[in-house]
Structure 1
Amino acid sequence: MNARATGNITGSVRNIAVVALTKNLADELGPAGIAVSCVHPGLTVTERTEGDAEYAAVAARNALGRPVTAAEVADVITFLVSPRGRATNGAVVTADGGRPGGLWA
């Protein structure tokens, strides 16, 4: 989610570059039937962070009030790569449980 936040120049620039790449590829490849989308996960509980209470507490600072799991992020990606997800071509999808703060259109 650093593409949508300040405070970490390297993270912001790296992630916004992924957004630009996604949109450019979507525009270029869409006519050939290839859909390209980007998923921005927030703090996600993975095998590496499972059981880390401090990490889980920080990851739970979202609208859901609980951490998002790697399986939930995988579910979003599974939808996007399915035939039903083609309409999202060029989209940047957040999978962060509803990060509080600014509005994003």
Structure 2
Amino acid sequence: MNKLPRTIGLAPSEMTSDELEEKLRKERERVTSGLEEYFNRPTKRPTKMPSKPSPIEAKLQAALDELGMTIEEFREVKREFEEQRRAEQQELESEEEESDDTGDGEEDL
């Protein structure tokens, strides 16, 4: 425990203001030079190479090529189809609720 101040240095409260300013100046220089070195290095992080398409993606792309569609067009058609299906489902549910609400006039006693 006696070697701790030598290892990590004095606490800021134990330093004079001049010593503290000098320590902070050196630390700023160290961090700044490290950041500059990092951002100015010639090689950036390695990028992942694009993987080969899965068999399903390849089949989908072949089918779209045969139809003359792009992926974006396919996604748009799919989105429209799903919206239409949801609307029909909601319509069926509302019809079922209405038919449940309208009885033949006789109530169970």
User: What is the TM-score of this pair, normalised by structure 1?
Assistant: 0.24
Larger relative contact order (C-alpha < 8 A, sep ≥ 6)? 1
Q: Which structure is larger by alpha-carbon Rg, 1 or 2? A: 2
Q: Whose strand fraction is larger, Structure 1's or Structure 2's?
A: 1
Q: Whose helix fraction is larger, Structure 1's or Structure 2's?
A: 2
